[in-house]
Copies of this chain bind each other. A is one copy, B any other.
Amino acid sequence: METLLLISQEEVSQRISKIQQGLFVQNIGAALICDNANIYYCSGRVFNGYVYIPSEGDALYFVRRPVELTGERVIYIRKPEDIPALLAEQGYALPETIGLELDLIPYSVAQRLVSLFANAKMNNVSAVMRQARSIKTAYEIEQLRQSGIKHEYVYSNVPSLYHDGMTDMELQVEIERALRLAGCIGKFRISGNSMEIHMGNLICGDNADSPSPYDFAMGGAGVDPSLPVGSDGTMIIPGMTVMVDMNGNFTGYMTDMTRTFSVGKVNDLAQKAHNCSIEICHQLADMAKPGVEAKALYNRAIEIVTDAGFEDYFMGHRQKAGFIGHGVGIEVNESPVIAPRSRDVLCEGNVIALEPKFVIPGVGAVGIENTYVVKLEGMECITKATEEIIALD
């Protein structure tokens, strides 16, 4: 018999009370959570079921599968319609307003769940959950640091995986294997349905300029129109860059790190743009601290790029991304968002990835991405691989 909670009660309490603060502010009586990433956040494991979080008091865990989990406030159900009677049994009054993850759960699921709560009004707790999850606990930050160490270890071995005459896809597959053997969980967790990727992105040469349907910073054509992103079979030849932005999910918490590799020398423009990316990361890391506006980071990056005269290549060329960074944790697209119209303000405990990248026609993508913890005294970089362009050969 296994316990449901795989994080300490103290850790659970910290997380639940952050959510409860959000419920209180929005005047929501209780939240009923069923998105896998949010379930994992509330319990330390993915299960099939619901977490019921009243605005005050203890959370209840309603479980459908797996069988045989134990713990206080773990209650097995066959279907969500069982929940109201079980709440009453536990002495919980039905809420007047029920919070659901309306940005995540399908319309028909939301309709079914709200109908459990008689005349309750429905409210959206997606932002409450995003906000709670954006402020990482010490334990979560430690998970991210552990991912960063393994992520860096695999990146340091990338040159040993390369051989002459390889395609981008062949190199990607060897990096995938190295990541997995180092403990990468494989799943690249992204909130929502619209973005899809397999183990991250490796883009080489002019494939960096192939526009993608997804809201990633970089594109790539992919090898199949059912997943049009990343490696497309380009042969890696001297003078091209290979940008590696692959899966750092070793602990359930993912670091996001990009490094640029090359065979032989890249041209002067590409080298300068790469240096500019490093400069942006360093300057933003110096200026970022609690209280700084996310859009101020974005604007500073644009200033540096404009001063250098590299606007045409920044964040894509034929198609441009509208952000230079994002929160990261259980998923790769968390809050805050580092974008021109972001209303986010940095807080202690945010973990953000900064990815000022350039696409240089005839060469490929250049630049770096690091994951940082926002601390009172400034930012801690937790993705420590060499930042220079790294020789594959």
Q: Is A149 an interface residue (CB 8 A)?
A: no
- Knowing A196-B46, A211-B66, the reply to whether A330 touches B226 (Cβ < 8 A) is yes
Q: What's the least CB distance linking A147 to chain B, in Å? A: 11
The residues of B that contact A107 with a CB separation of less than 8 Å are 100, 102-103, 105-107, 109-111, 124
Chain A interface residue count, CB cutoff 8 Å, equals 68
Our pick among B110, B176, B252 for the contact of A176 (Cβ within 8 Å) is B176
The residues of B that contact A177 with a CB separation of less than 8 Å are 173-174, 176-177
Our pick among B64, B194, B225, B252 for the contact of A48 (Cβ within 8 Å) is B194
The oligomer's copy count stands at 2
- Knowing A46-B228, A106-B105, A228-B66, the reply to whether A198 touches B187 (Cβ < 8 A) is yes
Determine if A46 and B252 form an interchain contact, defined as CB atoms under 8 angstroms apart. Answer: no
Q: Is A279 an interface residue (CB 8 A)?
A: no
The residues of B that contact A183 with a CB separation of less than 8 Å are 223
Our pick among B64, B106, B214, B252 for the contact of A102 (Cβ within 8 Å) is B106
Q: Is A118 an interface residue (CB 8 A)?
A: no
Determine if A225 and B46 form an interchain contact, defined as CB atoms under 8 angstroms apart. Answer: yes
The residues of B that contact A215 with a CB separation of less than 8 Å are 48, 65
Q: Is A325 an interface residue (CB 8 A)?
A: no
Q: A306 to B207: give the CA distance in the assembly, Å.
A: 56
Q: Is A126 an interface residue (CB 8 A)?
A: yes
Determine if B225 and A199 form an interchain contact, defined as CB atoms under 8 angstroms apart. Answer: no
- Knowing A176-B176, A213-B46, A227-B187, the reply to whether A319 touches B66 (Cβ < 8 A) is yes
Determine if B213 and A44 form an interchain contact, defined as CB atoms under 8 angstroms apart. Answer: no
Our pick among B65, B100, B186, B192 for the contact of A227 (Cβ within 8 Å) is B186
Instruction: Please name the residue on chain B nearest to A192 by beta carbon.
Output: B106
Q: List chain A positions with a Cβ less than 8 A from chain B.
A: 6, 34-36, 40, 44-49, 64-68, 100, 102-111, 124, 126, 169-170, 173-174, 176-177, 180-181, 183, 185-187, 189, 192-194, 196-199, 210-215, 219, 223-228, 249, 251-252, 318-319, 330
**Other A-B pairs beyond A46-B213, A65-B213, 20, CB < 8 Å:** A6-B225, A46-B226, A48-B213, A48-B214, A48-B215, A66-B213, A66-B228, A67-B211, A102-B106, A103-B108, A106-B107, A107-B109, A107-B110, A173-B177, A176-B180, A183-B223, A185-B223, A186-B199, A224-B252, A227-B252
